[in-house]
Structures are given as C-alpha cells and as structure tokens.
Amino acid sequence: MLDREGFRPNVGIILLNANNEVWWGKRVREHSWQFPQGGIKYGETPEQAMYRELEEEIGLRQEHVKIVGRTRDWLRYEVPDHFIKREIRGHYRGQKQIWFLLRMVARDNDVNLRLTDHPEFDAWRWHDYWVPLDVVIEFKRDVYQRALQELSRFLTSPPGSGHGERRHSARYLRQPRGQGSSAGKPPAKLHEAGAETQQLMLAPDK
C-alpha cells in the first residue's frame, strides 16, 4: 500500500527498559541490527500496526508494554533505486513512518523471536538510547536521528545518565559455539553461551 507520493506507511518501535536502554535486534542470518519496524496494513491504525508488529517480530503483547509517546507526524526516507525491486521502480520511493516509544513492563525472557515461522531477528540486546548513527544504513540515519531526538523528551531521566552498570546483553535464537567477544567492544552477556558481537549495520528495508 503506497500513498500518492510513493511512500509506504510504516511504524517504527523504540522499546525501552527501566534504564532507558533500547531494544536492538539482529536480523536473521545477517550482521544487521535495527529497531523493530513494519508496514501498516489496509484498515489498520498506526497503533494497531505497532502492536501487531511488536508481537510478530519480538513476541511481546500489548500488556507487556506501555506507550510512552509517538512522533507527531510521519518521518520519511527515500530508498535508493538499487535497493528497490525493478518492477516497482518509478512507483515506490520509500517509507513514511510513525515512531512509537514504548516502556517494557515484562521480563527479558518474555521476548520470543520465534513466534512466527519466518522470524525477523535471531538475536537481541539492550543498547544505550543514543545508538551510533554511523552503524545505521545511510539513507535511514536522518529518520533515526529525528525519531530518537523527538521521542527523547518523553524519557523520565536523560538518556545515558542512568546509575549502575550498563548492560550490553545479547540473546540468541540458537546457541552459538566457540566464539569470543569482539575487540574493542564490551563482552556480550548471552542467554546461553558466549558469542561474538558482530559489526552493526542496519538492513536496507523492512
């Protein structure tokens, strides 16, 4: 479903824990990490689409989260032609997104990446709120920056100023074997076994 300008309606989800860290997911069989996001189906409101995507992608239901805020208007990004399927070039330009900031009120082990037969993510971790934009694919950086900036006003304390130990924990669908932490990065605290934290790069589209 495209609008008249060729943008697909979409929702993005920034999920917080009690330390104002954000949920950061690794795409299946890729070295790509990103926030959950997905298209709005015909007849859905952005909020309905957000709850559906939340459950489909990370297994959390409405009772597992509280809405903290949302962007006031659509945030748009254009997708370069070489990322667009040939048959829709000239019609599809990119995504327009409403971003939601959620507070997780469930436990970490309530996250379920295998709720559907075609999971989007095979690992996840908590990351500081201000994710480094240089790991975001270039044409999405402006939207990520604008969404994080606009939604930061809803935080109960300044991001990055929380007390206590900062966690960089990762949780995997499958148990990795025989890997250690990457040089220059904090050791990952895994759900079952140690694993290498791969270089972060966002996938081009979803």
* 45-76 pLDDT tens trace: 999 999 999 999 999 999 999 999 999 999 99
Q: Where are the domains of the chain?
A: 7-190
Between strands 94-104 and 37-39, the pairing is unpaired
The pLDDT > 70 percentage for the chain reads 76
Q: Which pLDDT score is estimated for 169?
A: 53
Per-residue pLDDT of 85-138, as tens digits, reads 888 888 999 999 999 999 999 999 999 999 999 999 999 999 999 987 777 788
Q: Which pLDDT score is estimated for 135?
A: 73
Smallest CA-to-CA distance from 203 within 3, 72, 34 is with 34
130-156 average pLDDT score: 89
DSSP 80: P
Does the domain at residues 7-190 carry the CATH identifier 3.90.79.10?
yes
d(CA 136, CA 116): 26
C-alpha torsion 13→17→20→26, nearest 10: -50
d(CA 60, CA 81): 34
d(CA 174, CA 119): 13
For the entire predicted model, the pTM comes to 0.79
